[in-house]
Amino acid sequence: MSFQQIEAFYWVVVLGSFAAAADRLYVTQSTISMRIRELEKHLGVELFDRSNRSAQPTATALELMQYARRLLGLNTQLKQKIMSATAFTGQVRLGVAEVVSLTWLPKLIEAISASYPRVRLEIEQMLTEDLMHSLRKGALDLILAPGREPEPGLDTTSLGSVEFSWMASPKLRLGGAKRSAQELAEQPVIGLARQSYHHAMIEDWFRKGHAYCYYQLRCTSMLVAASMAVSGVGCAYLPARCFRKELQAGELELINTTMNSRVGFITAMSTDEIDPLLLRIVDLALEASDFDDKEIKEGAAVKPLPT
């Protein structure tokens, strides 16, 4: 019985198919099948019901999973403590929110490349809903996204928080006095995609203020939203730190409203994930993050927000 056989077995059970396990371990499906057959032969038991297309684990397999998880966990601890950084190889599929891309992501990539030169990164930037969906289905290994701890089924770590505010071009003359939802509703709004939490958050604020929000346009990028706001198309709800230059140059100005809030960010990976490299990358992300208050206090006004 080999560690590779136990690893193959574990991922077939977790992901639900031989094909998914093969993708996760970067081997062929026939290799996974061979490892499972060899493990079954060694143990003298059947681990999967092969009467249908899905890899349905037997009662014995579920019992074995308890030991497999311990073995893989010990292997992770050993590598985390002992393994040289230069010995790590392979690929990490990293998903990031746009706010991270606009701030300290380059610093993180530089740190990963310097610490683990033999590791290849695949980076995807998406809305938070898409990041979470991709992580849960196994298409991403680790994400850096808006959220709060804890998340069911996910191992999360706080990266701090970012302040969001309404902004517009000075041409619209919205600075100065505090604006209510009804007053801001008289202006065209530049929002993110309808399925985003950003959209839901804006809608909720206007609805509670007994106002109807008029969208001039929707987009999937805050950079685009900001450029439209600079041109005077409408007002946008954006992270102030990402657009300091525009604010300092007078291309944008802050609108005083009751909606200003801090948005928390986290690292997240599946609780089924047993990979010492990901744990080390989380540590590097904590070092690279320059967001405020990495330990968000309970009760603070921090809301998850797709970016």
Residue-wise pLDDT tens digits, 242-284: 999 999 999 999 999 988 678 889 999 988 767 788 988 999 9
Res 263: pLDDT: 85
Q: Is residue 273 within 8 Å of 141, Cβ to Cβ?
A: yes
Domains 3-82 and 86-161+263-288 share a fold: no
CB 32 within 8 A of CB 12: yes
Highest mean pLDDT among 86-95, 107-116, 296-305: 107-116
Q: Which residue has the tokens 């992270």?
A: 239
Burial class (CB in 10 A: 0-12, 13-18, 19+), 59: exposed
**How far apart are alpha carbons 99 and 226 in whole angstroms?**
13
Q: What is the pLDDT of residues 189-226, one digit of tens each?
A: 999 888 777 888 888 899 999 999 888 888 889 999 99
Buried b (16+ CB within 10 A) or exposed e, 69-103: beebeebbeebeeeeeeeebeeebbbbbbbbbbbb
* CATH number for domain 162-262, candidates 3.40.190.10, 3.30.750.24, 1.10.287.1770, 3.30.70.640: 3.40.190.10
- Enter the tokens of residue 110: 């530089």
Q: Check pLDDT > 70 for residue 303.
A: no
Give CA–CA dist 214/191, Å, rounded: 10
Q: Give the whole-angstrom CA distance, residue 67 versus residue 56.
A: 18
Residue written as token pair 């992300």: 285
Can you tell me the mean pLDDT for 21-34?
87
Please write down the HEC assignment for all residues of 153-171.
Answer: CEEEEEEEEEEEEEEECHH
Query: What distance lies between CA 133 and its chain's CA centroid?
Result: 9
* Residue 230 vs residues 36, 169, 250: alpha-carbon distances, Å: 59, 5, 9
List the domain boundaries for the chain.
3-82, 86-161+263-288, 162-262
Which is it for the CA torsion 291, 296, 302, 305, positive or negative?
Answer: positive
Is the pTM higher than 0.75? The answer reads no
Cα within 13 Å of Cα(72), Cβ side: 19
Query: How far is residue 204's CA from residue 231's CA, in Å, rounded to a whole number?
Result: 26
Dump pLDDT digits (tens) for 123-177: 999 988 899 999 988 889 999 998 876 677 888 999 999 999 999 999 999 988 8
Q: Which long-range contacts does 76-84 make (Cβ < 8 Å, 24+ apart)?
A: 76/274, 76/275, 76/276, 76/279, 77/276, 79/276, 80/276, 80/279, 80/280, 83/276
Residue 43 above 70 pLDDT? Answer: yes
Q: Tokens 């684990």 map to which residue? A: 57
The CATH label, of 1.10.1520.10, 1.10.287.610, 1.10.10.10, 3.40.50.300, for the domain at 3-82 is 1.10.10.10
Q: Name every residue whose Cβ is closer than 8 Å to that of residue 41 and which is 6 or more positions away in sequence.
A: none
Fold adopted by 86-161+263-288 = D-Maltodextrin-Binding Protein; domain 2 (3.40.190)
